[in-house]
Amino acid sequence: MHELDAFAEDLASISLRESDYAAAEFGLNARVRDYFHEETLAEVLKARRILLGSDHSRPRNFIKACLLHILHGNRPYALSRVSHPITPFSPTGPFEYRSLMERLRTRCERLMSLQWPEEFVPGTSWHSDFREIPNLLSEPVNAIICSPPFPGMRFDRPNWLRMWFCGWMENDFHETSRGFLERQQGRTFEVYSEFFQVCRDVSTIGSPVILHVGGSKAYDMTEKLTAIGSRYLHHCSTIIENVENVEKHGIKDKGTTSEHILLVFERR
């Protein structure tokens, strides 16, 4: 893969600055620098500098996505000390050098070797807020399937190490995050009024709009979202699955989610 060779050359040409190492002092569960051997940390900081921002070619974005996957975890593929692949809990174990390019190349080549299934259809993705979707679509869609953020869980926190790699620092977790629905719903669920209006505006007549939400004793998204969504769409059904005794994923405390719920609406 030519782009991997080019990335390796870019990595070798970077000279780290004090600001790069200062950025590694940030952390939530632990400091960034606590997760990596010093040589691995240097490679991670160089890669971070190269990949900051979103104005990259498709091959380089693919490399970035692969690198984010191997950034932390509890398997040999990970660059970090022993942590967790979902949430970067405070690391344990020895500081062992793990080559960034070696593990990145393995990950990229493994994915590139996969064969697309016959039914595969290429799609399009945007790095944007849901409020911008009406301006991005060239035509209405015939289905919407999504999973709004569960109340009581901030998705930037479990993903903080990857968010850091993408450029976030302490102020972003406190202030920038306020612009996202997951924090806005903490004040009022009426933010979903705007969300459902967008769903109605961008979908064709008869289109299903399906929301996967979490249920817990502390938060009742089902009743509130059904009421708000029914202002703009027809509520067809609610499907509930109890997950109190499943889905541990190796984490002792999986949060307050006790049910998985599908809210099924239709655009009329």
Please check whether residue 102 is in contact with residue 88, taking contact to mean a CB–CB distance below 8 angstroms: no
Q: Is the pLDDT of residue 124 over 80?
A: yes
On the question of pLDDT at 182 being above 90, the answer is: no
Say how far apart CA 164 and CA 172 lie, in whole Å.
9
* Angstrom distance (rounded) from CA 145 to CA 190: 20
- Rounded Cα–Cα distance for residues 62 and 54 (Å): 12
Average pLDDT over residues 98-113: 97
Residue 247 has pLDDT above 80, yes or no: no
Q: How far apart are CA 40 and CA 21, in angstroms?
A: 13
Q: How far apart are CA 258 and CA 218, in angstroms?
A: 10
Query: What is the average pLDDT score of the chain?
Result: 90
Which residue shows structure tokens 């999504």? 146
For each of the domains in the chain, give its residue range(s) and CATH number, in order of start. Answer: 2-112 (no CATH), 130-151+186-266 (3.40.50.150)
Angle at 54 between CA 88 and CA 48, to 5 degrees: 45
Instruction: For residue 234, give the 3-state DSSP assignment.
Output: strand
pLDDT at 265: 98
Q: What is the mean pLDDT of residues 181-204?
A: 91
Intra-chain end-to-end CA distance of the chain, in Å:
48
Distance separating alpha carbons of residues 44 and 67, to the nearest angstrom: 9
- pTM score: 0.84
